[in-house]
Structure 1
Amino acid sequence: MRIVRVRTTAGIRHARLDGERLQPIEDPYTAFAAGRVPRDAGEAITGAVLAPCDPRVLIGIAQNGPGHDSPVQAWLKSPRTVVADGAPVRLRRDAGTTVAEGEIAVVIGRDTDGLTAGTAHDYVLGVTAVNDLSSPERGEWDPRNFESKSGAGYTPLGPWIDTEAGIDDVPLELSVDGAEPIATGSRDLPVPIRECLAYVTRWSPLGPGDVVMTGAPYEQAPVRPGARMTVRVAGMVLSTPTR
């Protein structure tokens, strides 16, 4: 199932994509916790498609790429930086070069009490695409990633949650302005996604709608104002213009 969030005149609704049709569904997290597929809930709707979830907690995984001898570590990014597919992002002019980092984002489906590496898939609603925009030069002053990751709109997310992609073999691509894409995937992560989730939840609980960005293996590219960044994850395309 491909799950989206839609802003309608009656408020924000969850829906599944049925071709071009937006079919409203019940709360997908309630259904997930009950062990079933979300039921349809009314007639087709129209409205603006938002980021596919609204996380209370947004976590990044550092050092999960080639050339890192250190173990992975988690860090927090403000959920207020999340924007939808297609939303233009104004790059910061006061933080040096901006870098696009295409990543696989895991959307948690239920409270993670009891999650282990072996059972991690049982706690995941699905995956989506994320562009973890960064200003790496700020890392020289701020090793905790606050300044380098804190631009407004610096977390484009979406366009949907794929509930059938799994977490073990997910393809990933990044390209800027139509250049040859950098192709990789979850199998190129030194630490598998399920082990990252077990590590994170050993220290901090997660809940429905929270997001873990799982790391950027190879796919990083500098961007300038006026560029368009494209992240592809499991067949979905997240496209973000800059200004």
Structure 2
Amino acid sequence: MKYIRYRKEGTIHYGALEGDTITRLDGNYIEGPVQKLSTGDSLGEVEVLAPTEPRQLLAIGLNYALHAEEQGKPLPEEPMMFMLSPTAVIGQNAGITLPTEDHRIDYEAELAVVIGKEAKDVTKEEALSYVLGYTCGNDISDRDLQKKDIQYTRAKSYATFKPLGPVIETELDPSHTQIKLTLNGEVKQDSNTSDLIHNVEELLAEVTKVMTLQPGDVLMTGTPSGVGPLSPGDELEIEIEGIGKLRNYVNK
């Protein structure tokens, strides 16, 4: 099922997306079981929002083998985890604001995992049972600040730096899923989650040794090779097999 969060006539709704038709739900799919209502909306007539409002947003660095290679860094023996600000999250068709044009600020297409129930000390074998579903993510990153700070929080937490969406897909094989990013119509990243160094099950097991994840929280799983800089006016599209296309633009 594809869950979608959207605004229509000033009111936020939660729905199930089938084709271009949204069937409204009787509640928030993050909070628990929901039922479909008889009310329907057309996808083209609503504002699609980020499908979750995470209380915790965290990411994994250097988690694709080819990306580590292009960065000239060794493969990490353990997942390299770091926290991001949830206030950076935006949704479908929203603008990305570059705080300065003097820094190199890169796109990073990522598979994002949305947590479905409280998770602490989960095993790899049970990890996927704690997942509500998956969405597209873009881990916008200021490379100058990354080098300056060493740690990544500031470089990746500016407002608008974390596009998520357009939906949460509940039926997906995260171990073998195509992921692609185009910049102004040109393919820049084209890979598969089979290139992940640490798969989703391993990531959840390691992360929940450290912290407790709550429903709606998001884990961004790392980016493939092909990262590159953004400029004002750029248009981005991230497509993940089975989920759909996350579209954003860079404000001029």
Does the CA-based 8 Å contact 1:58-1:210 persist in structure 2? yes
Correspondence 1:69 to 2:75: yes
- The residue number in structure 2 matching 1:171 is 178
Shift in Å, 1:55: 0.5
**Structure 1 residue 41 displacement after superposition:** 2.7
Q: Deviations over 1:87-130 (max 9, x none)?
A: 01121216611100000000001111352111111011111000
Which residue number corresponds to residue 113 of structure 2?
A: 106
Q: Are positions 1:27 and 2:28 aligned together? A: yes
Query: Contact 1:89–1:242 at 8 Å: present in 2 too?
Result: yes
Report what 1:193 is aligned to: 200
Counterpart residue number, 2:241:
234
Residues 1:95 and 1:123: Cα distance change in structure 2 (over 3 Å): farther
- Alignment partner, residue 212 of structure 2: 205
Contact 1:62/1:73 (8 A) holds in 2:
yes
Helix, strand or coil at the partner of 1:195? helix
Pair 224,94 (structure 1): closer, same or farther in 2 beyond 3 Å: closer
Please state how far the C-alpha of 1:181 moved relative to its aligned partner.
4.2
Distance in structure 1 (CA, Å) of the matches to 2:75 and 2:56: 27
Asked whether the 8 Å contact 1:121–1:166 carries over to 2, the reply is: no
Percent identity reads 30
Aligned equivalents of 1:172 and 1:69: distance in 2?
A: 20
How far apart are 1:31 and its partner, in Å? 4.0
Structure 1 letter corresponding to 2:59: G
Task: Quote the offset at 1:30 in angstroms.
Answer: 4.3
Q: How big is each residue's C-alpha offset from its partner over 1:169-201, in whole Å with a ceiling of 9 and x where there is no partner?
A: 221111211113421121111111110111111
Match of 2:145 in 1: 138
Residue 51 of structure 1: aligned partner: 50
Secondary structure (helix, strand or coil) at the match of 1:139 reads helix
Match of 2:36 among 40, 46, 68: 40
Q: Which residue of 2 aligns with 1:15?
A: 15
Q: CA RMSD in A?
A: 1.8
CA distance in 1, matches of 2:225, 2:39: 43
SS of residue in 2 equivalent to 1:41: strand
Provide the rounded CA distance (Å) in 2 between the counterparts of 1:238 and 1:10.
22
Q: Residue 228 of structure 2: which of 207, 212, 221 is its match?
A: 221
**Which has the larger displacement, 60-69 or 71-80?**
60-69
Distance 1:64 1:84, change over 3 A: same
Structure 1 CA distance for aligned equivalents of residues 224 and 212 of structure 2: 26
Q: Quote the Cα distance in structure 2 between the aligned partners of 1:55 and 1:228.
A: 25
Gaps of 5+ in 1: 33-37
TM score, norm. by length of structure 2: 0.88
**What letter matches 1:4 in structure 2?**
I
Cα distance change of structure 1 residues 117 and 85 upon mapping to structure 2, 3 Å threshold: same
Q: State TM-score, norm by structure 1.
A: 0.91
CA contact (8 A) 2:120 2:211 kept: no
Once the two structures are superposed, residues 58-79 of structure 1 have per-residue CA deviations (whole angstroms, 9 ceiling, x without a partner) of 0011121323333322111100
Whether the aligned pair in 2 keeps the contact of 1:104 and 1:233 (CA below 8 Å) is yes
